[in-house]
Every structure is written in C-alpha cells, then in structure tokens.
Amino acid sequence: MEKEYKRMLKKFFRNPSGVLGLALLFFFIFVAIFAPVIAPPQPSNKYEPYMMPIVTWSPDPQPPSKEHPFGVSERRDIFYGVVWGTRTAFRIGLIVTGVSTLIGLFIGSISAYYGGWIDEILMRITDIFLSIPFLIAAIVLTTLLGTGLDKVMIAMIVFGWMGTARLIRGNILQAKEEQYVLAAKAIGVSTPGIIVKHLLPNTIFPVLIQASMRMGSLVITAAILSFLGLGAPQGYSDWGAILNYARNWMLGAHGEALKYWYTIVFPGTAMVLFVLAWNLIGDTLRDIFDPRLRI
C-alpha cells in the first residue's frame, strides 16, 4: 500500500494542473493561517478580528492606495476582508463538505447495504431533497432560522448530502457482491464492521474526489447567499459579503463603467482562484484513481 501511495503521489506531482492546484491551495492555507500577520486587526477590534474595520466615513469606494492596497468599499478595507475571508472560505468549505459528506456516506451506505425497503425509502427521501431547487430551499431555510453564516452552512449541509449518498450507494452496490464481503460475513464480522472496514475503503475514493470538487463550489454558493444578504452579518470578512457591497457600484459611475472595478475584482479573483484550486486537485485525483474517466 505504501508503494501504491508513493506511486499516486508521483503521478500527482507529474500532473501540472495538480501541482498548480496544490500550489494555489497552499497559498490560501498560508494566507488563512497568517491572516493576523498579513492584515493585523486594529486594537479596537482585536476581539472581533473577523469584522472588517471601518477606515473612512465617505460612503464612496476608494481606489487602491498605499494604506488600502485593494481599495475601500462601503467604508471598509477590501484587503483586510479578502485576507480574513480566506479563513471564512475554508471554514465554510471544510465544515459543510465534511458534514454533508458524512451524512451522505451514512445514508448511502445503509441504503446500499440493506437494500430492499430501506433502500427504497432512503432513496426516495434523497430524491425529494434533490427535487427542491437549492437556492429557494436555502432562502426558505434561512428565513426560518434567521440569517447568519452558521445558518447558511446549515442550509448547505441539509441540501448538500444527496450527491454523496447516491455516489456511495452505487459504489457499494457494486462492491458488496465481492467475495471478500461474503468472507467477512462468514467470519462473523458485524454489519457496521463490514461497511467501515471492507466496503468504505474500497468505495470512498470517488466520494473524496467529489468532495474536493464541491469544496470550491460551496464557497460560490455561500457567496451567492451572502450576496442575497442571507449570509454573513454586516462587516463580516466574507468574499460574498464584499461582493455584496459592490452591488451599488457594479455599473460604475456616469461615463466611467469601470471606475469601481476594485470592489469586484479582488474578492472575485480570490474566489475564482479558490474554486480553481479545489477543482484542479479534484480533477487530478480523478485522473489518478480512475484513468477511464480521462477525456
């Protein structure tokens, strides 16, 4: 197995897009970890470092300058927001992907292993969740729960596990006919033991790939919800929230369409690169684990 891992690592590093993705990811991890150094919070909001400081009283955005390298939008420093927003992005991505993947794994593997009525019921529930348009569901849910980043995350978890459940179900349906599963049953291994020790290790890789791809797109979804005003509170460092500030300035000034470009470009670029990093990594993992899918 060590050999196999080594071989996979080698393959990964021979793939330029994988290396690029990993480099981007490491860059974001670096920014997230060293956020207090890169953009030190002012003494006044030391206890709430995620709140973007108000740097001016003028309501108009201000272009990039020495003190505010990414400019100012809605009185707040964009650079500070983008740097600290990296942490928010990771938090949303990791928690939502982690929890929804676990839920999906649980439901999918139970469904596939037991089959019959249990499968039927669980899969119909999955279908119901799939049939609800995500944005509408998220809006309704946040209306019920109230706005806030945690509520947005709950909405994304509640409506984000179905893909994993279906994927793992299909894989386990295939793997459960293998003789090593029968052998484990003959030995007397319990059902959870068979699922965790025998079925999941042989079926989980596509799920991990899917999860890494989703990690990026979830950040976009969170940004959409923030943009709609459902997400982070006023002034919270979140890429979507910064874009939300740009709403009034998107069209530029009279005769100068691109006057306020910095209100969109910096947070937008951060988001695009973040999504790109995860997608490149996911693509590379998929190529390594399943060469048949390469187009």
- Contact set with another protein (CB under 8 A): 1, 4, 120, 178-180, 182-190, 193, 197-198, 201-202
Q: How far is the CB of 4 from another protein (least distance, A)?
A: 8
**Nearer Cβ to another protein (190/234):** 190
Q: How far is the CB of 197 from another protein (least distance, A)?
A: 8
Identify the CA nearest to 50 among candidates 253, 245, 234, 176: 234
Report the C-alpha gap between 65 and 130 in whole angstroms.
47
- Contacting residues for 4 by C-beta, under 8 A, at least 6 apart: none
DSSP string, 162-203: HHHHHHHHHHHHHHTTSHHHHHHHHHT--HHHIIIIIIHHHH
**Nearer Cβ to another protein (83/204):** 204
Q: How far is the CB of 88 from another protein (least distance, A)?
A: 36
**Nearer Cβ to another protein (29/182):** 182
Instruction: Give the start-end residues of each E strand in the chain.
Output: 72-73, 76-77
**Nearer Cβ to another protein (31/110):** 110
Whether residue 89 contacts residue 167, with contact meaning beta carbons closer than 8 Å, is answered with no
Q: How far is the CB of 190 from another protein (least distance, A)?
A: 8
* Residue in the structure block whose two tokens are 């983008």: 82
Q: How far is the CB of 120 from another protein (least distance, A)?
A: 7
Identify the CA nearest to 172 among candidates 206, 216, 134, 214: 206
Q: How far is the CB of 15 from another protein (least distance, A)?
A: 23
CA distances from 121 to 102, 107, 115, 165, 177 (A): 19, 11, 10, 13, 22
- Contacting residues for 230 by C-beta, under 8 A, at least 6 apart: 138, 139, 142, 147, 151, 152
Q: How far is the CB of 177 from another protein (least distance, A)?
A: 9
CB atoms under 10 Å from CB of 2, counted, come to 6
**Nearer Cβ to another protein (99/175):** 175
Q: How far is the CB of 13 from another protein (least distance, A)?
A: 23
**Nearer Cβ to another protein (26/114):** 114
**Nearer Cβ to another protein (46/197):** 197
**Nearer Cβ to another protein (80/113):** 113
Report the C-alpha gap between 85 and 91 in whole angstroms.
10
| Three-class secondary structure of residue 256 per DSSP | strand
